[in-house]
Amino acid sequence: MPEVFVAGAAMTRFGKHMERSSRELVEEVVTAVLKHAELQPGDIDACYVGNAVSGLMTGQESIRGQVVLRNTGLLGVPIVNVENACASSSTALYLGRQAIASGEHERVLVLGYEKLYDEDRQKSFRAFNASMDLDEMRRRFPKGGEGRSVFMDLYASFSEQAPASGAGPDVEALGMVSVKNHHHGALNPLSQFREEVSLEDVLSSRQIAGPLTLLMCSPLSDGAAALVLSSRPPAGRPVRIAASVLASGRGDDRSRPDAVTRAAGLAYEKAGLGPDDLDVVELHDATAIAELQLYEELRLCGPGEAQRLVLDRETWLGGRLPVNPSGGLLARGHPIGATGAAQVVELSWQLQGRCDQRQVPEARVALAQNGGGWIGTDAAACAVHVLVS
């Protein structure tokens, strides 16, 4: 079976791009990723395009990838449109890797993009909320969608449920997740937010739901990210995708492990590696609560140890295992259809030593975890990728 390498990686700056269209953001990132890969459009065999809510935001459905790629020179090859909530582009990456590993293609482009900012903010929140079973959303959160994403209410409810390891996270630990990720984001020129914040800033920002304040929640974002995958190792320090796993959630069946636990376990098995081998991680910190939960679900620590990791600065740059050196969703931003690809862009750059002030020294093994949507008791989708150099 052919190995699969990241031959090119690029992303736009994430943020509020009211004056730019999805097509413009995509054209910028496609030009950049082909340049990085030293390829022309004619060298690409297929495109896998992740987008979550363009239909709800603009009305463009069905052929989203063909529309945004119209002027890139890539029309004519197979274009696969992928929609899987916040895991749309990580799902596209899963499919693109399969296409190469099977021998069907030699080079594919994986793209994720999203435009979430709109003059009508209610439209943006309705688009976010559509990543839940709407009947369930109305039942659980009867006031859901009134000026915010119900996902913040969902994450806040997790803090009220004492996990098997003990009580939920304390407010200081939640605040320090945000302080850490904004510190990292300040070092990333492509982050949406590039200012440091203090613990006082985080705790005094506007309350959103339960213990969550504004600075503990991921923002609305616009942006695009792209990867070129190849069966041929590129020049320089090659980055190989050692494992690519996609899982759907357990729904209402609490007797089964959650999607993150299952996907991560299988990814470690396929890569022949374990959590102790990791040098750097990008994970789906949609809220500060989510990051702490994921430490345990990814087996980055034992039960009850998640708070210690952030309070003792083990997951900060310079610590034992830096998590979200890009700034994560909290600071880099969260254009939902682009997030999964952006995580792998960051990790590819880390493994190639291209991250300047936020570089993790001698990083050789990396893990990306990206979740999407919610149904019942679990994420609707979860993708985990392990990269090695």
Domain count, the chain: 1
Residue 163 confidence class, pLDDT cut points 50, 70, 90: very low
Residue 162 confidence class, pLDDT cut points 50, 70, 90: very low
CB 215 within 8 A of CB 201: yes
The H or E element that residue 169 is part of is none
Residue 203 CA: distances (Å) to CA of 35, 139, 217, 299: 43, 30, 12, 28
pLDDT in tens, 317-357: 999 999 999 999 999 999 999 999 999 999 999 999 999 99
Please state, in angstroms and rounded to a whole number, the distance separating the CA atoms of residues 215 and 339: 18
Q: Judge whether residue 145 has pLDDT over 90.
A: no
- Pick from 98, 123, 135, 22: nearest CA to 270: 98
- DSSP output for 120-153: SHHHHHHHHHTTB-HHHHHHH-TTTTSSS-HHHH
| pLDDT score recorded for residue 144 | 60
Please state, in angstroms and rounded to a whole number, the distance separating the CA atoms of residues 105 and 4: 11
Q: Judge whether residue 167 has pLDDT over 80.
A: no
| pLDDT score recorded for residue 112 | 98
CB 249 within 8 A of CB 376: yes
User: Catalytic residue at 86?
Assistant: yes
CB 175 within 8 A of CB 288: yes
Mean pLDDT score across all residues of the chain: 95
Q: Judge whether residue 166 has pLDDT over 90.
A: no
Please report, rounded to a whole number, the percentage of residues in the chain having pLDDT higher than 70: 96
* 72-77 own/partner pairs: CB under 8 Å, 24+ apart: 72/26, 72/27, 72/30, 72/31, 72/41, 73/40, 73/41, 73/42, 74/30, 74/41, 74/44, 74/47, 74/109, 77/44, 77/45, 77/46, 77/47
CATH number at residue 377: 3.40.47.10
From the candidates 36, 184, 284, 334, which is the catalytic residue? 334
Which phi and psi (to 5°) does residue 234 adopt?
Answer: -75, 170
| pLDDT score recorded for residue 154 | 87
If you average pLDDT over residues 39-56, what whole number do you get? Answer: 97
pLDDT in tens, 217-264: 999 999 999 999 999 999 889 999 999 999 999 999 999 999 999 999
For 153, the domain range is 1-389
pLDDT in tens, 277-304: 999 999 999 999 999 999 999 999 999 9
